[in-house]
Copies of this chain bind each other. A is one copy, B any other.
Amino acid sequence: MNDLLKKPRKVYVSRTIEFNAAHRLFNPLLTENENCKIYGKCANKHGHGHNYLLEITLAGIVEQKTGFLFDLKELKAILEEEIVNRFDHRHLNHDVPELQDCVPTTEVLAVLIWDILEERLTSITNREISLHEVKLYETGKNAVRYLGE
């Protein structure tokens, strides 16, 4: 089976999920004025929110037996446990311990998601699969990619 896979083929598989969260961009080490200048209305006291769209990409050689890079049912379960449970319907400044000493910008959130998934995936894969990219859309117009560099 899967004659096309007799030669090793490196693919990039992406899975997209959504979570809805509130956040406030405010650095307590800076003055009110500095925060206002840097973050504008994103520094409003009670926060605002977004429908975050998260695209996770794994890279590796397609498995000849299954034709899969990675079981998407398993990836879905991991993303549910690590990402949705942690961020969905939360206020990022108040409800996420990992962000306590951070301003929860899209950049910082993308980096945190990478760290969480990198650790989790390393612990479970025995084949050569790697986390390739975390892409996080804050809105349809703004997105941040992090590749672990």
Contacts and interface: CB of A to CB of B under 8 A. Distances in A.
Interface residues of A, number: 76
A1 B27 contact: yes
Interface string A110-146: 1110010000000000000000000000011111111
Interface in A9-61: 9-18, 20-23, 25, 27-30, 38, 40-42, 44-51, 57
A147 to B, nearest CB: 8
B69 A107 contact: yes
A141 B103 CA distance: 29
Interface centre among A21, A51, A68, A112 (most CB of B within 10 A): A51
Interface centre among A25, A91, A112 (most CB of B within 10 A): A91
Given A1-B28, A101-B3, A67 B15 contact: no
B111 A11 contact: yes
A15 B103 contact: no
